[in-house]
Structure 1
């Protein structure tokens, strides 16, 4: 059955970050993920995880100004030294927190004339990160983000993800597949999961088009969760959506037999 993790950067955001761990445990999650954990010390996160018997399965390498509308870090040629510093920071956190995966966000190119240069830089930096994290047994992942929400994102579809993955051919590099982002791009998520599950180390989801909880949009999550359960996939499935004012009130999707059984694993 799928194993569900709560993305604490989005879920339970009505609470301070350290209080979200307890809320996730009380809601039935066995694992959590954080987009960028660096506002807290790794030690304080680890203590909180232990206090609530939770596993942290994923976090991102710092992405500079990406969420503020900038180009980010991993693809910008002039920021390669800063990217290495961010990888070192993520490595230090990983040594304490022992995640399954660390995500490298490709970022944007806001000057179309430099796109090829940015793509080359990203491939170089992604290989560098995969080499570093492989030393401690952590899988590096990267994801595509839809270019409607984030114009200029250099990896905005499944075909681009696959091309990079095949080109790098790194034993510790896998895909992070986001059902919401690929649905926004009009892709057939069920078909991709069925064909490429062996390349995926982490899955995330939100409903489409509003990025809300399952049931708020058009996606058939009963079918998608059922498919994931039937596939040879042992990674986590991260709830990374925009909840209502009270996250706990929007967790009916976990009450289905499949979901509630998976969350308890």
Structure 2
């Protein structure tokens, strides 16, 4: 397995521009991140300085969220919100351009929460429309748009509560676009927290997985600290042909003292 450090959660205690170097110092060659700017259309200086930080650190960006709102405050995406979907659409050109220049193959699009006073059909159709725009822009740059399920304990109103629902929306977007570049971001923490049968969902959806993220259940700590058998799950991913990056998206116990001596213990069991 090839591991990428999530800059937004592992290194969120550091200023943004210091995070790539911190990940490189810990031995990572690849990183991923949530949307790194305050708004959908950051000025060129803010974009350029982040590109410089990645380049100077010598790390590859392998996945990035499209604008998702305030994650810490409970937002889980804007693309299906009638009042805020335009902010999602406004970020697409910046995201695609940034990803293309930095060799980032995956853009993660969080689907959003259900909203009072808006029908489920209206939000679903708006999601497909927003993702249609993102997928077409991504296709021109050779990128993949990924859709992620989030567990019902943390986000009970999120539109995509399990793997099957996320893959079904990806299928709907691919049917609408006539493309095949909308896939599934498989976050094993969320599926484990849901109590889903992870070996079975990997068997069903392995061909659709665009990216993998991990943490352990139930506390979202480092893999190996909870209930999930990661050597077994990694063995299954490898057996199904997954050879992409695995993002470390877990909550560190001590933000200022992060070590990764435990990583060798996750060698796939095949």
Matched, 1:232 2:241: yes
How big is the shift at 1:89?
A: 2.8
Q: 1:77 aligns to what SS in structure 2?
A: coil
1:180–1:208 CA contact under 8 A, matched in 2: yes
Alignment partner, residue 33 of structure 2: 34
Q: Tell me: CA distance 1:214–1:27, structure 2 relative to 1, closer, same or farther (3 Å).
A: same
The answer to whether the 8 A contact 2:152-2:161 is kept is yes
Q: Does 1:203 align with 2:212?
A: yes
Q: Aligned partners of 1:31 and 1:70: how far apart in 2?
A: 26
Q: Given the alignment, which residue of 151, 155, 161 partners 1:156?
A: 161
Match of 1:141 among 143, 146, 150: 146
Counterpart residue number, 1:8:
7
Q: Is the 8 A contact 2:171 2:182 kept in 1?
A: no
Report the Cα offset of residue 216 of structure 1: 2.0
CA positional deviation for 1:90: 1.5
Match of 1:110 among 92, 115, 139: 115
Alpha-carbon distance in structure 1 between the residues aligned to 2:223 and 2:259:
8
- Aligned-partner SS, 1:78: coil
CA root-mean-square deviation = 2.2
Unaligned stretches of 5+ in structure 1? 260-265
**2:108 is paired with a residue of what secondary structure?**
strand
Change (3 A) 1:7 1:71: closer
Q: 1:195 and 1:205 mapped to 2: Cα distance?
A: 19
Q: Which has the higher contact order (CA 8 A, sep 6+)?
A: 1
Aligned residue runs from structure 1 range 1-265, under 5 A? 2-38=1-37, 41-65=46-70, 67-70=72-75, 72-111=77-116, 114-169=119-174, 170-246=179-255, 249-256=258-265, 258=267
Deviation at residue 124 of structure 1 after TM alignment: 1.6
For residue 247 of structure 1, report the CA deviation from its aligned partner.
6.5
Decide whether aligned partners of structure 1 residues 200 and 248 sit closer, same or farther in structure 2, where only a CA change above 3 A counts: farther
1:26 and 1:187 map into 2 onto residues whose CA distance is: 36
TM-score by length of 1: 0.88
Contact 1:205 1:241 in 2 (8 A): yes
Contact 1:213 1:250 in 2 (8 A): no
- Sort the Cα spacing of 1:212 and 1:117 in 2 relative to 1 into closer, same or farther, 3 A: same
Q: Alpha-carbon deviations, 1:100-124, whole Å to 9, x = none?
A: 1111110101327612211111122
